[in-house]
Amino acid sequence: MLLKYLTHPSLVFFVLPWIMALLVAGTVVQPAMGIYQAQKFFFEGFVFWLGPVPLPGMFSLLVLLATSLSAKILFTSTFSWPHSGTWLIHAGALLLLVGGLVTSLTQQEGSMLLAPEETKNIFDDYYDKELVINKNGDDVVRIAFARAAAMKGDDFRALVPFDMSVTKACHNCDVVQDQNNTVRLVARPHEKDAEKNLAGVQLRVQGRDMLVVQGMPAHVSAYQHGDDIYHVSIHRKKHALPFSIRLLSFSPSFHPGTHVAREYASVIEVADGALTWQTAIRMNEPLRYKGYTVYQASFVEGDGPSSSVLTIVKNEGRVLPYVATGVMLIGFVLHLWMRRRGRA
């Protein structure tokens, strides 16, 4: 009975309109809500809350659609030459969903700021943040901010040799001082540009309060325990590259009579073990290597030479949508050809 329901076409006719409605709504609200928040609210949940009413979220709908296609291919669609087109269309659609899953689980997206002659193999995540505990100059604990925000005293006891707990956390904070000169955190609405959100936590460390806000100098959150000095800070999550990038030169060009950039390019040296080579990254000419794509994003002007800002994206499922589209196209052509030959 369940198999019959899962493979019935009516299931697809129910799921697809709701998926389209979420896609349209999520796209329309992006100017007001911001891209990141719109994606989180409309596209990245198993439940979509329409006010107090819980409705199927995008993840639930895609899982249901993938389950239906898998059941159709494995149990009710016998592969045969006359039906090969239909079979390939279903297989391509399922591969497209698998590609989306791989992208959702593995994608990394962040930025790297490089000054001339500077070399890095680490880039900062655009959205994900970490609570970092530093001991005598060395980072000894890194915790995803979303997890750290919910941690209590027992959770920290295995990480640090003193009592510590989170009493308040917010993904976008202001630090305010009340009439009693007490400094505290106040949660603010999320910024449209998610990169501008300043995360913060209020900690209880050995009986005293400590505020930690993203970008705050390390000495503000210092705590001495015995002979050791601890600092707590919040940073963007760090991702390591399997190669390093050195900026050799950066050259912006502007529209005549303006300070509006027409084009800018970074000449870089890529080092991967004993292998090194030079290449140029321009606005529409990224570097692709080892599953990473490095784009020229912007630049930062200073007293000296300008620094280059690179966007780095890792997407292990990048090729799958192209393969899936090709499989579906072949399936449509075969299906139409079979129907035409059957009428002849």
Task: Tell me the per-residue pLDDT of 54-109, one tens digit each, with 9 for 90 and over.
Answer: 999 999 999 999 998 888 888 887 777 888 888 899 899 999 999 988 888 888 99
Closest-CA residue to 97 (of 338, 342, 324): 324
Convert 239-264 to b/e letters by CB count within 10 Å (16 or more is b): bebeebbbbeebebeeeeeeeeeeeb
DSSP bridge partners of 213: 200
CA distance to 129, 150, 196, 199, per residue, from 215 (Å)? 12, 21, 11, 9
Closest-CA residue to 234 (of 336, 128, 315): 128
Whether 159 shows a pLDDT value over 60: the answer reads yes
Predicted confidence (pLDDT) per residue in 182-241, tens digit: 778 888 888 888 888 899 999 989 888 888 999 887 777 888 899 999 999 999 999 999
CA distance to 75, 141, 151, 211, per residue, from 160 (Å)? 54, 9, 13, 18
Q: Nearest 5 degrees, angle CA 229-CA 232-CA 234?
A: 155
State the residue for tokens 């059957």. Answer: 342
Return the minimum-mean-pLDDT range out of 105-114, 148-157, 252-261, 307-316: 252-261
Whether 284 shows a pLDDT value over 90: the answer reads no
pTM assigned to the model = 0.79
Query: Are the beta carbons of 292 and 313 closer than 8 angstroms?
Result: yes
- At 135 the pLDDT is 92
DSSP-derived letter for residue 290 is T
State the residue for tokens 């321009």. Answer: 282
- Domains of the chain, by residue range, sit at 2-106+320-343, 108-122+239-314, 127-238
Calculate mean pLDDT across residues 124-150: 91
State the residue for tokens 């800002």. Answer: 309
Closest-CA residue to 270 (of 291, 289, 253, 256): 289
Whether 282 shows a pLDDT value over 70: the answer reads yes
Calculate mean pLDDT across residues 160-165: 90
Q: Which two tokens stand for residue 236?
A: 């963007």
Q: Which two tokens stand for residue 182?
A: 């007490």
- At 277 the pLDDT is 95
